[in-house]
Amino acid sequence: MIPLHRAPRLGYANGTPNPKVRVMGCAGIVLAVVHPDGIDRRLSPLFTVPEFGERAGGGGKRSTGFGKRGSGGQSMNVQVEGIVLRGVDYGETHRIVTLLTPEIGKVGAMARGAKRPQSRLRALVQPLVRGTFSLAYRGQGMAIIRQGQWLEGYRAIQEDLWKHAYAGYAAELVDRFVEEATPNPGVYEFFRQWLEALAAGKDAEILTRLFELHVCEWAGVRPLLDRCAGCGAAVGYARMFDLSGGGPLCDRCLDLRRGIPIRPQTCAVMRALQSVPVNRLGDIRVGPDTRRELADLLGAYLEHHTGARLRGREYIRRLREYAWPGPLDGAGGDLV
């Protein structure tokens, strides 16, 4: 949740000024007023917020009704669309999932009994399933998935080893780099369109490079690809890339800064991918050598700037290492 501003004159709890009160929301929509000792849920009839702050999985929720107070604290029900990023078993029959939603961002929720064969939640809480979820909050506890509707399972992704590997990697990136309980409809829509493009048979590797470039933006480390990372001069044909500086090096800076050798095509493809919307991505003819370099460079770039060890990237590398028939095979010569 994005703190819009501090509002010292607002004293919602008792009508007196409180310098610790913060107004929370996004895109001009105030979702909640956060007090040091709780959250005022009366601010908006459209949005209610069960709990904020440091606890994982909390956040503003689009309410389907007004919350009611129970003996164990406040409770409320909300309904959201979401995509399951990952899930872990909990106990013998339960499952805890991480959802990406437009209104409340990333959120954790428990599906009680979802491992039972007859459970209606069983299909809904599988990774990469898109659906609607009725979430129930009670007090400070994690959201409980009461019921939901399965909308899409991206069967073409689930049934293809490589597509599934790339989609799993993308879900890992979302899980790592999207903040919890922060409304971000743009990220949700991008991920949904990305999954549709992957399922529709678009080039999985190129889609993944496009995804990584978007993640760089979310993480605040968007590479600047037309300027030298050392001196800022315009760079046409880049032959070196400076990971720390976040861009290519010009000929004058080659000896002054540490860079890794790249092919000019690699930088050109990244420039193109930075500017194309995922739903407009056409067929980009990229040869195997440039593909490998793109994968190595962007993975190293993300890990360098975020410190994250990306398991999905390692899994894809192993798949390739064991010569599993993959998207590189039969790609012919280097085309770009």
Contact call for residue 238 and Zn ion (CB under 5 A)? no
Contact 189, 102 (CB under 8 A): yes
Is the CB of 29 or the CB of 233 nearer to Zn ion?
233
CA pair distance 34, 40, nearest whole angstrom: 6
What is the dihedral angle through the alpha carbons of 309, 311, 317, 321, rounded to the nearest 10 degrees? 120
Nearest distance in Å: CB 254, Zn ion: 8
Does the footprint of Zn ion cover residue 228 (CB under 5 A)? yes
Answer left, alpha or beta for residue 263, where phi above 0 means left and psi between -120 and 50 means alpha.
beta
**Rule CB under 5 A: is residue 256 a binding residue for Zn ion?**
no
Residue of the chain from 31, 111, 253, 286 that contacts Zn ion (CB under 5 A): 253
Point out which span in 72-80, 175-183, 252-260, 302-310 binds Zn ion (CB under 5 A).
Answer: 252-260
Q: How far is the CB of 231 from Zn ion (least distance, A)?
A: 3
> Residues 18, 40: contact at Cβ < 8 Å?
no
Smallest separation (angstroms) from Zn ion to the CB of 249: 6
Contact map string, positions 261 to 300, toward Zn ion, x by CB under 5 A: ----------------------------------------
Number of chain residues interacting with Zn ion (CB under 5 A): 6
The residue among 52, 49, 42 whose CA lies nearest residue 135 is 49
Altogether, the residues listed in the chain come to a count of 336
What is the spatial distance between Cα 312 and Cα 104, in angstroms, rounded to a whole number? 25
User: How many Cβ atoms are within 10 Å of 116's Cβ, its own excluded?
Assistant: 13
Instruction: Give the angle 2-180-157 at the CA atoms, nearest 5°.
Output: 130
Candidate segments 188-196, 222-230, 284-292, 319-327, binder of Zn ion by CB under 5 A: 222-230
Is residue 230 part of the contact set for Zn ion (CB under 5 A)? yes
Supply the minimum distance, in Å, between the C-beta of residue 247 and Zn ion: 9
**Shortest Å, Cβ 244 to Zn ion:** 14
Q: Which of 135, 250, 278, 281 binds Zn ion (CB under 5 A)?
A: 250
From 113-121, 126-134, 217-225, 247-255, span contacting Zn ion (CB under 5 A) = 247-255
- Contact with Zn ion (CB under 5 A): which of 139, 231, 236, 304? 231
Least gap, CB of 252 to Zn ion (angstroms): 5
The Cα–Cα gap between 57 and 133 comes to 15
The least distance separating Zn ion from the CB of residue 233, rounded to whole angstroms, comes to 5
54 versus 255: smaller Cβ distance to Zn ion: 255
d(CA 181, CA 158): 28
Q: Which residues contact 193 (CB under 8 A, 6 or more apart)?
A: 278, 279
Q: How many CB atoms lie within 10 A of CB 37?
A: 8
Contacts with Zn ion, residue ranges (CB under 5 A): 228, 230-231, 233, 250, 253
